[in-house]
């Protein structure tokens, strides 16, 4: 029997009232959407909200991993303010973020522009070559770059000596050159990954725009600045925010290549948290540093998201 027929039967005077159904049958329409989205909130609570709350609690305690944590209030945070190692790690992390935004992202855009050129032969081979560093194990990458940057037998020093007549640079033992080695590794590893995003955006730019610009007399540079860059603004904003947030948590590259050294020259905030928590058993102190990193990353990410307008319609 159809629903209108049921309504008419219920409207008949003297008809018996319908039998009460279960709670689900009476609230199915209102509760069904919540039931469908509930798995996300359950997983979010278990794997995101609970760890964050536990981290906040641990950041106000002194705990070595065994026994009952000792409540110390905000002492861990005040200690961080006077910890030179923490500020060194913040400065190094800021350097990595700035380098990635100013060098890696433009390099990825230019490579994507080159791969998107008409008539390019072996396009798929180039795409695979640029994307390959993302899928290679960081351990293998570090071993290879360790050989590249070896002071006596490294390829980099050998090439510098052959071309420019000097070499012997201590890439992992000198504080300044160690930073250079880390950012070169970051450049090599992540440029190809970001190229994929720009390449996808370039393939959605209508060819008619380039043809119209060419008819108006625009050269390659003018077409790039007046057509390509405005059309890629949403993709660029997304890439910039993603890179900013991920680079602020950089760990693998400095840890595997230099282990934060020499001294603390390449120490990042994520490495500082790891060292405090797993090498010095200062879990409360590490949690406080992690909370500070979380607040900084979320704040900067939201600010960048708002300034760059990620997710908005730029048309």
What the chain holds in terms of domains, given with CATH numbers, is: 74-308 (1.10.3720.10)
Query: In sequence order, which residues have a C-beta less than 8 Å from that of residue 272 and are 6 or more positions away?
Result: 85, 86, 89, 289
Mind listing the pLDDT tens digit for each residue in 3-54? Answer: 455 455 555 555 555 556 777 788 888 888 888 888 998 998 898 899 889 9
Question: In the chain, which residues have pLDDT < 70?
Answer: 1-20, 309-315
Q: CA triplet 211, 214, 220: central angle to 5 degrees? A: 110
Q: What is the pLDDT of residue 107?
A: 93
- pLDDT score at 18: 57
Supply the pLDDT for residue 206: 87
Q: Which of 47, 50, 55 is nearest to 290 (CA)?
A: 55
Both tokens assigned to 111: 């490579």
Which pLDDT does position 35 carry in this prediction?
A: 86
Residue 265 structure tokens: 């020259």
Give the orientation angle of helix 105-115 with respect to helix 233-247, to 10 degrees: 140
Whole-angstrom distance, CA of residue 107 vs CA of residue 149: 22
Q: So what's the pLDDT on residue 3?
A: 47
Strands (E), the chain: 61-62, 70-71
Helices 105-115 & 175-202, crossing angle to 10 degrees? Answer: 40
| pLDDT at res. 1 | 46
Give residue 197's Cα distance to chain centre. 13
- The 3-state DSSP class for residue 94 equals helix
Alpha carbons 93 and 110: distance in angstroms, whole number: 25
Confidence at residue 8, expressed as pLDDT on a 0 to 100 scale: 52
Torsion over CA of 204, 206, 209 and 214, rounded to 10 degrees?
Answer: 90
Helix (H) or strand (E) holding 56: helix 50-58
């Amino acid at each position: 029997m159809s629903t209108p027929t049921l309504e008419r039967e219920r409207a008949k005077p003297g008809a018996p009232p319908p039998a009460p159904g279960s709670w689900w049958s009476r609230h199915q329409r209102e509760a069904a959407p919540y039931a469908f989205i509930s798995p996300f909130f359950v997983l979010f609570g278990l794997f995101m909200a609970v760890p964050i709350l536990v981290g906040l609690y641990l950041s106000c305690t002194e705990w070595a991993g065994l026994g009952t944590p000792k409540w110390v209030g905000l002492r861990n945070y005040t200690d961080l303010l006077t910890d030179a190692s923490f500020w060194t790690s913040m400065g190094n992390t800021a350097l990595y973020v700035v380098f990635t935004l100013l060098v890696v992202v433009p390099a990825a855009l230019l490579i994507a522009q080159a791969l998107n050129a008409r008539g390019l032969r072996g396009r798929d081979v180039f795409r695979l070559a640029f994307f390959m560093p993302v899928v290679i194990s960081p351990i293998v990458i570090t071993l290879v770059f360790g050989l590249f940057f070896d002071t006596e037998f490294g390829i980099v020093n050998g090439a510098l000596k052959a071309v420019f007549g000097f070499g012997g640079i201590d890439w992992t033992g000198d504080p300044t050159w160690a930073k250079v080695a880390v950012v070169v590794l970051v450049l090599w590893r992540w440029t190809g990954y970001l190229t994929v995003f720009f390449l996808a955006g370039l393939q959605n730019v209508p060819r008619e725009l380039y043809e119209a610009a060419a008819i108006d007399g625009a050269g390659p540079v003018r077409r790039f600045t007046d057509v390509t860059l405005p059309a890629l603004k949403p993709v660029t904003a997304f890439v910039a925010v993603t890179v900013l947030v991920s680079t602020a948590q950089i760990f693998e590259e400095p840890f595997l290549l230099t282990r934060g050294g020499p001294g603390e020259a390449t120490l990042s905030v994520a490495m500082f948290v790891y060292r405090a928590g797993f090498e010095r058993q200062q879990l409360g102190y590490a949690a406080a540093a992690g909370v500070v990193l979380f607040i900084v990353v979320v704040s900067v990410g939201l600010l960048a998201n708002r300034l760059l307008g990620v997710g908005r319609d730029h048309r």
